[in-house]
C-alpha cells in the first residue's frame, strides 16, 4: 500500500483570477466580490476599485446614449437567476465601457455576450452569481456592417433604375428586381419560372446565345448586347443587356449578373432621327435650289448636288480641296464684277443679318456660260454671339427666266415696232378711206348733177333714148356712191374699236323691223322675233349686222305676196346658242353657199334684187370680230336661213 500524499490544494483564487475568460462573481445583492484579470483588462478597471461595489454602480449606462438598455437588461437577467436558480444566457448587449480619466474619459462602444449562472448553497438558495461575458464587440460590429451593407444592397437592387437579374448558367432567373419585372411585364413569380431565352426576340436569340456561351466558357469576361425582348403582352421592347459572371474559387461561373436598360424610347428616337435625316437628306440632294453651308470663317462645309450643278463646281472644288477653273467668276446684273467680300454670305458674316433676293451671274465652266441665280443667305446665330456660327446660302437658278425675259424684251421691241408700223398703216388707211368717201363722191355728184341739168335744161334737144341714157348715167353714179358707202362701212367695221356690253338682240331686231316696215307699209310680211336674246357684244356693230340680215330677208321676200321672217335662237346640247334669221323668200343654191359672204359676191342679178354685195361680207366681219361663226342654209325658191353664234 503506498501512501499517496495528498496533493496540496490549488490556490483557487489565483486560478479564478487567472482564468482566460471574463468573469465576475456577484453577491445576491449584486455586489462585486471577485473578478478575473481578463475581465478587468476588457473593462479597463482595477480590481481594488470595483470589489465590494455594486455592479450597476461600477458599470452605469452610457449617459450619452439615451437608448441604452444594458443596465435594465442585465438587472432583469440577474433577477431571473436569483429567483429561478437557472443559467440565464443573455442576448448580445451593447454595454459601453467608461474609459479611465487617464485615457481621456468618456465611454467606449462595446458589445457583450453575457451568461449569468447561479451558485447555490446546500439549501438551494443562490449564494452567488457567476457573471461570465464574452466580448463580441468586433464580431457584432462586423455583423452590423454586413447587415447594413446587405440592406443597402437590397435597396439598391430593388430600387435600381435599371433591371437587374441573377441568372443560372442555363438561363433561369435566380433573382430579379422589380424594374426588370416592369420592363418585361411579368410578375416576379412568373419571371422565376422563365429563362432569359424565353423572353428574347427570336431574331436576336442566336447572337445572344453565342455571347452567353463565350462568357460561360471564359472566352470573354463579359458582354453588352442591344436586343429585343418580347413582353408578356407580346409587345416588343429594345434593351441594353450587360452580362458578367460571378465565379467561384475554381473560376467556374456560378451565376451571371445582368443589368438591363430599357432603350425602346432611345431606339424609337434614333429611328425617328434616321428617318428625318433620310427625308432631309433626300430633299437636300434632290431639290432644284442650290444649298451651301459655310462655317463662320467662310469655308464651305457642305453643298448639295443642285449647288454643284448650278455653280459648275465639284464638292471638292467647293470645299477648297481642288483648284477652281480660272474662268469661274461672279458678276452683277449689269455685267460688272461681284467682289467676293460683297457677296451675300460675306455680308451676312459681317452683319449677322439675313439677306434675300440678291441676283447674280455665276460663270459655269461646264456650260461655258453664266448661270443667273437669286441668292438668300441666312446666319445661324448662337445665343449671345454676334458672329454667325454657320451661314446657309440658298440660290435658285433663274437662267431660263432670264433668257425668257430677254426673249420677251426682244419680242416686245418687235411688237412695239410693229405697233408703230400698224398705227402708221392705219393712219394711211384712214386717210385713204376719208379720201375715198369724200373725193370720189364729188365727181359722182357732178356726173349725177350735170346729167340732171342736161335733162332739165336740154330736154328738147334729146330724144327719148338720149334721155334714157342720161338716166342710166345718173343711176350708175348713185349706185357707185352706194358702193363707196358700203365699202367704207366694211372697212370701218374691220378697224373700229369694240365696246363689249350686254346687247338685247330682240330689242334691236324690233327697232330695225319697225323702221323697215315703215319704208313699205303696204307689204304683207309676218315678223316673228323671239324674246330675251341677250349677248355680250358691241352694240353698234351688232345693229349693223342685224340690219343687214333683216334687210336681206326683207329684200329677198319682196316678190312674195305673203312673206314670213323669223328671228330666233336655238340652244344646242352643249348649251351654246345659235341665233338665226329665217325667211321664205327667193333662197339660194347651196352650191354657192361659200360665196355668200365674199365682198361684191352676188347670187342674184341686180335687176332681180338691188344691192351692192357687201352686206353679208359686213355681217361676217362683225361676227368674226366677236369671235363667232356664221353660215347659211337655203334652197332656190325655198327661202334662206342665216345662222350665227358667238
User: Contacts with another protein in 350-409 (CB under 8 A)?
Assistant: none
Based on the shown chain and the rule CB under 8 A, indicate whether residue 450 belongs to the binding site for another protein: yes
CA gap 47, 38 in Å, rounded = 11
Cell of 101: 480619466
Shortest approach of another protein to residue 433 CB, angstroms? 8
Shortest approach of another protein to residue 466 CB, angstroms? 18
Give φ, ψ of 423 to 5 degrees: -65, -45
Shortest approach of another protein to residue 464 CB, angstroms? 20
**Between residues 229 and 448, which has the closer beta carbon with respect to another protein?**
448
User: Contacts with another protein in 560-599 (CB under 8 A)?
Assistant: none
**Between residues 460 and 497, which has the closer beta carbon with respect to another protein?**
497
CA gap 388, 349 in Å, rounded = 6
Among 201, 228, 267, 441, binds another protein (CB under 8 A): 441
Shortest approach of another protein to residue 521 CB, angstroms? 22
Judged by CB under 8 A, the stretch of 141-149, 210-218, 473-481, 554-562 that binds another protein is 473-481
Cell of 290: 442650290
CA gap 59, 32 in Å, rounded = 11
**Between residues 474 and 543, which has the closer beta carbon with respect to another protein?**
474
Q: Helices 539-556 and 464-495 sit at what angle, rounded to 10 degrees?
A: 140
Judged by CB under 8 A, the stretch of 38-46, 297-305, 441-449, 527-535 that binds another protein is 441-449
CA gap 55, 71 in Å, rounded = 9
**Between residues 226 and 482, which has the closer beta carbon with respect to another protein?**
482
CA gap 406, 361 in Å, rounded = 15
Among 130, 444, 462, 517, binds another protein (CB under 8 A): 444
Shortest approach of another protein to residue 474 CB, angstroms? 7
Q: How many positions of this chain bind another protein (CB under 8 A)?
A: 22
Residue 358's DSSP bridge partners are 375
Shortest approach of another protein to residue 512 CB, angstroms? 20
Among 33, 151, 415, 453, binds another protein (CB under 8 A): 453
Among 1, 9, 442, 591, binds another protein (CB under 8 A): 442
**Between residues 29 and 439, which has the closer beta carbon with respect to another protein?**
439
Based on the shown chain and the rule CB under 8 A, indicate whether residue 467 belongs to the binding site for another protein: no
Judged by CB under 8 A, the stretch of 56-64, 289-297, 447-455, 512-520 that binds another protein is 447-455
Shortest approach of another protein to residue 408 CB, angstroms? 35
Cell numbers 350708175 correspond to: 476
CA gap 283, 272 in Å, rounded = 16
Q: Spell out where 381-428 has E strands.
A: 390-397
- Give the 3-state DSSP-derived string for 294-350, with helices as H, strands as E and coil as C: EECCCCEEEECHHHHHHHCCCHHHHCCCCCCCCCCCEECCCCCECCHHHCHHHHHHH
**DSSP code of residue 103:** G
Neighbours of 330 (CB within 10 A): 18
**Kind plus residue range of the DSSP H or E element containing 118:** strand 111-120
Among 439, 463, 497, 522, binds another protein (CB under 8 A): 439
Shortest approach of another protein to residue 489 CB, angstroms? 10
Among 36, 448, 612, 620, binds another protein (CB under 8 A): 448
Shortest approach of another protein to residue 429 CB, angstroms? 13
User: Contacts with another protein in 419-438 (CB under 8 A)?
Assistant: 433-434, 437-438
Among 159, 214, 446, 471, binds another protein (CB under 8 A): 446
**∠ CA 251-254-256, rounded to 5°:** 105
Q: Quick check: helix, strand or coil at residue 546?
A: helix
Count Cβ neighbours within 10 Å for each residue of 618-641 and write b for 16 or more, e otherwise.
bbbbbbebbebebbbbbeeeebbb
**Between residues 151 and 606, which has the closer beta carbon with respect to another protein?**
606
Among 319, 481, 517, 577, binds another protein (CB under 8 A): 481
Based on the shown chain and the rule CB under 8 A, indicate whether residue 601 belongs to the binding site for another protein: no
Please report the DSSP string for 211-277 in residue order.
Answer: HHHHHHTTSSS-EEEEEEEE-TTS-EEEEEEEEEEEE-TTS-EEEEEEEEEE-HHHHHHHHHHHHHH
Which residues sit at the interface with another protein, rule CB under 8 A? Answer: 433-434, 437-439, 441-446, 448-453, 474, 477-478, 481, 485
Amino acid at each position: 500500500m503506498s501512501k499517496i500524499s495528498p496533493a496540496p490544494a490549488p490556490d483557487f483564487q489565483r486560478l479564478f483570477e487567472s482564468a482566460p475568460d471574463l468573469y465576475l462573481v456577484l453577491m445576491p445583492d449584486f455586489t462585486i466580490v471577485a473578478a478575473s484579470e481578463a475581465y478587468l483588462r476588457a473593462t479597463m478597471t482595477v480590481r481594488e476599485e470595483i470589489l465590494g461595489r455594486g455592479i450597476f454602480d461600477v458599470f452605469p449606462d452610457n449617459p450619452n446614449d439615451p437608448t441604452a438598455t444594458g443596465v435594465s437588461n442585465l438587472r432583469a437577467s440577474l433577477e431571473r437567476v436569483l429567483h429561478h436558480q437557472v443559467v440565464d444566457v443573455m442576448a448580445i448587449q451593447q454595454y459601453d465601457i467608461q474609459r479611465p480619466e487617464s485615457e481621456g474619459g468618456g465611454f467606449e462602444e462595446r458589445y457583450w455576450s453575457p451568461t449569468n449562472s447561479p451558485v447555490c448553497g446546500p439549501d438551494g438558495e443562490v449564494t452567488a452569481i457567476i457573471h461570465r461575458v464574452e466580448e463580441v464587440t468586433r464580431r457584432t460590429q462586423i455583423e452590423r456592417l454586413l447587415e447594413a451593407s446587405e440592406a443597402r444592397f437590397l435597396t439598391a437592387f430593388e430600387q435600381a433604375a435599371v433591371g437587374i437579374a441573377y441568372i443560372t448558367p442555363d438561363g433561369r432567373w435566380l433573382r430579379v428586381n422589380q424594374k426588370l419585372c416592369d420592363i418585361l411585364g411579368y410578375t416576379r413569380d412568373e419571371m422565376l419560372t422563365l429563362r432569359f431565352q424565353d423572353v428574347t426576340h427570336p431574331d436576336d436569340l442566336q447572337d445572344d446565345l453565342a455571347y452567353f456561351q463565350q462568357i460561360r466558357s471564359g472566352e470573354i469576361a463579359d458582354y453588352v448586347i442591344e436586343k429585343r425582348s418580347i413582353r408578356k403582352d407580346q409587345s416588343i421592347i429594345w434593351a441594353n443587356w450587360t452580362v458578367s459572371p460571378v465565379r467561384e474559387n475554381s473560376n467556374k461561373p456560378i451565376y451571371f449578373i445582368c443589368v438591363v436598360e430599357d432603350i425602346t424610347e432611345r431606339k424609337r428616337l434614333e429611328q425617328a432621327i434616321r428617318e428625318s435625316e433620310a427625308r432631309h437628306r433626300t430633299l437636300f440632294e434632290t431639290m432644284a435650289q442650290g444649298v451651301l453651308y459655310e462655317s463662320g470663317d467662310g469655308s464651305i462645309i457642305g453643298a448639295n448636288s443642285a449647288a454643284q450643278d448650278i455653280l459648275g463646281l465639284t464638292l471638292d472644288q467647293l470645299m477648297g480641296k481642288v483648284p477652281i477653273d480660272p474662268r469661274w467668276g461672279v458678276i452683277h446684273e449689269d455685267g460688272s464684277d461681284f467682289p467676293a467680300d460683297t457677296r451675300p454670305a460675306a455680308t451676312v458674316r459681317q452683319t449677322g443679318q439675313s439677306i434675300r433676293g440678291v441676283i447674280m451671274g455665276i460663270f459655269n465652266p461646264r456650260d461655258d456660260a453664266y448661270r443667273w441665280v437669286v441668292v438668300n443667305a441666312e446666319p445661324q446665330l448662337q445665343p449671345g454671339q454676334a458672329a454667325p456660327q454657320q451661314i446657309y446660302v440658298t440660290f435658285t437658278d433663274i437662267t431660263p427666266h432670264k433668257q425668257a425675259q430677254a426673249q420677251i424684251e426682244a419680242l416686245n421691241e418687235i411688237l412695239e415696232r410693229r405697233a408703230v408700223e400698224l398705227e402708221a398703216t392705219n393712219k394711211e388707211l384712214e386717210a385713204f378711206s376719208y379720201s375715198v368717201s369724200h373725193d370720189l363722191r364729188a365727181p359722182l355728184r357732178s356726173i349725177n348733177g350735170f346729167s340732171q341739168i342736161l335733162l332739165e335744161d336740154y330736154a328738147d334737144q334729146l330724144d327719148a333714148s338720149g334721155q334714157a341714157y342720161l338716166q342710166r348715167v345718173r343711176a350708175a353714179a348713185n349706185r357707185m356712191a352706194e358702193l363707196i358707202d358700203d365699202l367704207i362701212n366694211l372697212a370701218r367695221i374691220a378697224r373700229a374699236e369694240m365696246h363689249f356690253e350686254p346687247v338685247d338682240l330682240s330689242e334691236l331686231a324690233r327697232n330695225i323691223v319697225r323702221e323697215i316696215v315703215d319704208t313699205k307699209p303696204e307689204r304683207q310680211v309676218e315678223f316673228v322675233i323671239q324674246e330675251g336674246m341677250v349677248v355680250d357684244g358691241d352694240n353698234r356693230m351688232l345693229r349693223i349686222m342685224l340690219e343687214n340680215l333683216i334687210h336681206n330677208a326683207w329684200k329677198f321676200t319682196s316678190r312674195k305676196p305673203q312673206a314670213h321672217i323669223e328671228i330666233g335662237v336655238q340652244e344646242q346640247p352643249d348649251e351654246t346658242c345659235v341665233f338665226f334669221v329665217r325667211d321664205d323668200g327667193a333662197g339660194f343654191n347651196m352650191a354657192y353657199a361659200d360665196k355668200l359672204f365674199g365682198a361684191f359676191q352676188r347670187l342674184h342679178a341686180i335687176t332681180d334684187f338691188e344691192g351692192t354685195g357687201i352686206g353679208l361680207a359686213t355681217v361676217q366681219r362683225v361676227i368674226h370680230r366677236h369671235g363667232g361663226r356664221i353660215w347659211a342654209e337655203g334652197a332656190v325658191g325655198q327661202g334662206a336661213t342665216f345662222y350665227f353664234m358667238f
